């Protein structure tokens, strides 16, 4: 009987060890899904379509991307830095912006520039710029009349049709939904006063060559 007593603690210790091992195995099984999810979200994990930066979000419209000074190409506001988005941006997309930055130190400048051939064959190449500080110090009231002249859907349509080659007040009045002849003349007078139109021989209206690019950039800048 005495010979059996020393073996009892050993058997109990072995059982305890097996129970502890079983509990550890169960714990690993329970925590495995959470660990897998953590690994998928880890920066070291392989990228997937679901976890790709910016996935499912609309890409910024090229040409309307804002690029702060010191930031590289294709990393504009709204760009999440994903490799797919960066690959879709041409390396020379911001050639005009980068050229301006090379020439003008901070606080920089703004420019409008364009080279246009109209349907009637007229061409308009135009460049206008102003330093940021000068423009902020300028009197903006002086442009109120010119901007107000464009502030009506009918007048915007009229200048667009004139750019397309519709020249006389009669032709413009015949456009569908443009209004009465009297209303058209009223709009034309405001556009002439604002400097966006002038009258040529034969009563034909045209956008002055020096106003073609500013007009089109104003419309472009008004888009959101």
Complete DSSP assignment for 10-65: HHHHHHHHHHHHHHHHHHHHHHHHHHHHHHHHSTTSPP-TTTSTTTTSPPPPTTS-
Query: pLDDT at position 177, please?
Result: 94
Given pLDDT bands bounded at 50, 70 and 90, which one contains residue 224? Answer: confident
Kindly state the percentage of the chain with pLDDT values over 70.
60
pLDDT higher at 69 or 165: 165
Q: How many CA atoms lie within 13 A of 103 on its CB side?
A: 12
**Residue 180 forms part of a structural domain:** yes
Percent composition of the chain: helix, strand, coil (DSSP 3-state, to 5): 50, 10, 40
| pTM, entire model | 0.63
Angle at CA 35, nearest 5°, toward 31 and 38? 145
Highest mean pLDDT pick, 20-24, 57-61, 112-116: 112-116
Residues 25 and 94 in one domain: no
Residues 128 and 194 in one domain: yes
**Residue 204 forms part of a structural domain:** yes
Instruction: Look up the domain containing 62 and give its range.
Output: 57-103
Rounded CA gap, 211 and 128, in Å? 11
Residues 127 and 203 in one domain: yes
Asked whether the predicted pLDDT for residue 6 surpasses 50, the reply is no
Query: pLDDT at position 160, please?
Result: 97
**Residue 202 forms part of a structural domain:** yes
Asked whether the predicted pLDDT for residue 96 surpasses 50, the reply is yes
Rounded CA gap, 155 and 178, in Å? 9
pLDDT higher at 20 or 215: 215
Domains held by the chain: number = 3
**Residue 81 forms part of a structural domain:** yes
Query: pLDDT at position 16, please?
Result: 56
Task: Of 58-67, 119-128, 203-212, give the lowest mean pLDDT range.
Answer: 58-67
Query: pLDDT at position 80, please?
Result: 46
Sequence-ordered list of residues with C-beta below 8 angstroms from that of 83, at least 6 positions apart, any chain = 47
Q: What is the CA radius of gyration of the chain?
A: 35
- Of 219, 190, 195, nearest in space to 207 by CA: 195
The secondary structure element, H or E, covering residue 112 is strand 109-117
Average pLDDT over residues 142-156: 97
Length of the chain: 224
Cα 126 from chain centroid (whole Å): 24
Query: pLDDT at position 5, please?
Result: 46
**Residue 52 forms part of a structural domain:** no
Query: pLDDT at position 47, please?
Result: 36
Query: pLDDT at position 217, please?
Result: 96
Asked whether the predicted pLDDT for residue 95 surpasses 50, the reply is yes
Report yes or no: 104 and 76 within 8 Å, Cβ to Cβ.
no
Asked whether the predicted pLDDT for residue 218 surpasses 50, the reply is yes
Average pLDDT, the chain: 76
């Amino acid at each position: 009987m005495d010979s059996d007593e020393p073996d009892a603690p050993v058997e109990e210790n072995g059982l305890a060890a097996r129970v502890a091992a079983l509990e550890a195995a169960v714990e690993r099984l329970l925590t495995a899904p959470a660990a897998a999810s953590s690994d998928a979200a880890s920066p070291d994990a392989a990228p997937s379509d679901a976890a790709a930066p910016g996935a499912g979000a609309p890409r910024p419209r090229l040409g309307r991307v804002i690029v702060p000074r010191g930031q590289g190409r294709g990393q504009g506001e709204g760009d999440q830095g994903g490799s797919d988005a960066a690959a879709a941006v041409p390396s020379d997309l911001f050639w005009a912006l980068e050229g301006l930055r090379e020439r003008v130190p901070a606080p920089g400048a703004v420019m409008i520039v364009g080279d246009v051939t109209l349907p009637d064959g007229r061409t308009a190449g135009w460049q206008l710029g102003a330093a940021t500080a000068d423009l902020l110090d300028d009197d903006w009231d002086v442009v109120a009349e010119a901007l107000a002249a464009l502030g009506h859907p009918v007048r915007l349509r009229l200048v667009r049709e004139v750019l397309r080659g519709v020249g006389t007040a009669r032709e413009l009045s015949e456009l569908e939904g443009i209004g009465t002849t009297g209303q058209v003349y009223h709009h034309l007078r405001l556009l002439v006063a604002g400097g966006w139109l002038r009258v040529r021989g034969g009563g034909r209206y045209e956008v002055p060559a020096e106003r073609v690019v500013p007009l089109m950039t104003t419309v472009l800048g008004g888009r959101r």
